[in-house]
Structure 1
Amino acid sequence: MTLEDPLTAPRTPKYQTIAADLAAKIRGGELPPGSALPPQKELSSAYGVTLATLRQALQQLEKDGLLSQQAGRGTFVAEPRAAYRLDSLRGFAEDLRAQGQTVSTLILGQAVGTPPAAVSAQLGDVPQVLRLERLRLVAGRPAVHQLSWIRDNGLAETDLSGTSLYAALADRGIVVHRATEAIRPGVLDEATGELLNHPAGTPVFVSDRLTYGLDDTPLVFDRATILGTAMEIRTSRALTGLSMQWSRQP
């Protein structure tokens, strides 16, 4: 083994050293989620570097999802983001609770009516469906706006604020077999932005999921608007596991 000459060995850039130190403090709990970092001038002085070097470190930590720099307010430790998993067939709340997240649901609307043409194209020629509108809160903060159109109208009077839709269907003898899902980037419109407490134009994920029964009849069409600042998408891959397809947006 050849030893590197200490005079010629590459040195770790100062901004990376600062980023590693701050990351350790964040992960170790010394800097808890939501806490504000000292002003940049104070931090640069404490580390003995220029403001430009400090800002490189902060940008790296923001890219890693550990910090949030807010214009006019300062730099804050980012709240941990929940993961939206693609490798399981469960309801949204079930996914998050399995990760130890605190999830609550507000029912914004629940009524039987005529489906829009785009929904009929997914569920088939059904004259009446149950339209269910929900707001999902993660750790008390709005994170997902979800619209569901359900082929079975028997759930019109069911309280779905604390019950999984899939579980409620199972109680009626309707078994969920499989689902297809497409996720694309988008931005908040004004109405949904008001519900999620974020301005119009905020980046989001838009998920369209079509769920099928045992006989491959479409049961539920979901459209979820997911705050990109609150959630990340994660999946596991194996040779015999999840299959994923990528397609270009038109």
Structure 2
Amino acid sequence: MTEQTTGYDQRVPKYLAIYRALAAEISDGTHQPGAALPPQRQLADRFGVTLMTVRQALRALQDDGLVEARPGTGTFVRQPGFAYHLSGLRSLSEELTGQGLELRTEVLSADLVSAPEEVAARLGLSPGTRVLAVDRLRSASPEPGAPVVPLLLQTSFLTERLGGLLDVAELRHHSLYRLLGERLGRPVTSAEERLQAVALTEREAALLDRPVGSPALLSRRLSRDEAGAPLVDDRAVMVGDGTVVVAERAATEVSLTYRTQNSPG
């Protein structure tokens, strides 16, 4: 059989051209998460290549985490852990439940601590001022009946006064944003957020059930009330293999700044 991947740059290996085409179709929703890709024979006919070339392309998609092979069944688009949207102003729990995920929140600790210097500065406090630090582990099931897996580890810092008004036990079932607005009358109306690629520490890896040093995404978000006063300084570590960042861009709605950062040492 003569291989002809019509419509593609002939300088690009045929398997790579197929990989790019299928990856683009997964990205634009042509192939939905959980759906099966066309059979290998059908793909070979479509692209005018051998089965060996198709299998090479599918292996590349699998290596990049876009699909998974199920023996005797076919190749399926992988279910993403969750999409993390940069537009709008929603809590992490609202992000997860809004995507149909079954959320489980475990409050690991809620203690008054001396504010680290950076936290104190972000909350407008003097260094060493006591703040409430709430550690939560967020886990979710990607679909009904599927195992619940840990997705992110979140630490929220609030002033001692504001934290003293919260019933921490309610955080197992309600978002902090919701409690601030409905219980305390201090709704979050704006936030500044930074995202940074990091590697999991030993503690984070143990809680998130990942190997030490696994890639992760660190979110630092400072949430404010209507008057612009800081309410919550959040630090969330999200697993790298289960998080997809989505930015819905509009010139007047979302501002994204990209910076490079040299590694220490």
| TM-score, with length taken from structure 1 | 0.76
Q: Counterparts of 1:145 and 1:77 in 2: how far apart (Å)?
A: 26
For 1:102-121, list aligned pairs within 5 A: 102-121=102-121
Structure 1 partner of 2:59: 58
Question: Taking structure 1 as reference, are residues 80 and 112 closer, same or farther at Cα in structure 2, changes over 3 Å only?
Answer: same
Question: Taking structure 1 as reference, are residues 11 and 119 closer, same or farther at Cα in structure 2, changes over 3 Å only?
Answer: closer
Q: Counterparts of 1:125 and 1:161 in 2: how far apart (Å)?
A: 28
TM-superposed deviation, 1:57: 3.1
- For structure 2, which runs of at least 5 residues remain unmatched after alignment? 38-48, 70-74, 142-147
Q: Counterparts of 2:51 and 2:249 in 1: how far apart (Å)?
A: 42
Q: Counterparts of 1:190 and 1:57 in 2: how far apart (Å)?
A: 34
Match of 2:192 among 154, 157, 180: 180
Structure 1 partner of 2:218: 206
- For structure 1, which runs of at least 5 residues remain unmatched after alignment? 1-6, 33-46, 70-74
Identity of aligned residues (%): 30
Corresponding residue SS for 1:160: helix
For residues 83-105 of structure 1, give each alpha carbon's deviation from its aligned partner in whole angstroms, at most 9, with x where no partner exists.
00111111101012112222111
Contact 2:33 2:77 in 1 (8 A): no
For 1:121-136, list aligned pairs within 5 A: 121-125=121-125, 127-136=129-138
Contact 1:130 1:156 in 2 (8 A): no
Match of 2:237 among 200, 214, 225: 225
RMSD: 3.4
Counterpart residue identity of residue 139, structure 2: L
| TM-score, with length taken from structure 2 | 0.72
- 1:82 and 2:82 equivalent? yes
Question: Taking structure 1 as reference, are residues 240 and 112 closer, same or farther at Cα in structure 2, changes over 3 Å only?
Answer: same
Structure 1 partner of 2:247: 235
Contact 1:107 1:134 in 2 (8 A): yes
Q: Counterparts of 2:120 and 2:211 in 1: how far apart (Å)?
A: 31
For residues 72-117 of structure 1, give each alpha carbon's deviation from its aligned partner in whole angstroms, at most 9, with x where no partner exists.
xxx9863323100111111101012112222111110112232222
TM-superposed deviation, 1:11: 7.0
